[in-house]
């Protein structure tokens, strides 16, 4: 696969992951009656979503964008 095509597709995948992450976090923190326990669980869910997104982005950068040093 061409190197520039790999980079373009990788950045496109990263953009999709980031958009999905933002949508998921906004869905978690929708307008609801706030309770301390609910805030705590929403915070944990948000951290989990961001962690998963960061893992996917790291995988994309490590596998697809990795440049070969020749």
CA-CA distance, 21 to 41, in Å (whole number)? 17
Flag whether 69 is in a domain. Answer: no
What's this model's pTM, rounded to 2 decimal places?
Answer: 0.66
pLDDT digits (tens, 9 = 90+) for 34-45: 677 777 888 888
| Total number of domains constituting the chain | 1
Tally Cβ neighbours within 10 Å of residue 21: 18
pLDDT digits (tens, 9 = 90+) for 44-56: 888 999 999 899 9
Question: Exposure string (b/e) for 50-60, b if CB count within 10 Å is 16 or more?
Answer: eeebeebbeeb
Tally Cβ neighbours within 10 Å of residue 65: 15
CA-CA distance, 57 to 30, in Å (whole number)? 25
Q: What range does the domain containing 59 cover? A: 3-63
| pLDDT in the model for residue 41 | 85
């Amino acid at each position: 696969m061409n190197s520039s095509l790999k980079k373009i597709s990788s950045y496109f995948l990263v953009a999709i992951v980031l958009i999905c992450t933002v949508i998921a976090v906004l869905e978690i923190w929708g307008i609801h009656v706030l309770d301390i326990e609910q805030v705590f669980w929403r915070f944990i869910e948000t951290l989990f979503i961001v962690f998963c997104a960061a893992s996917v982005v790291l995988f994309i950068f490590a596998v697809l964008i990795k440049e070969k040093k020749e």
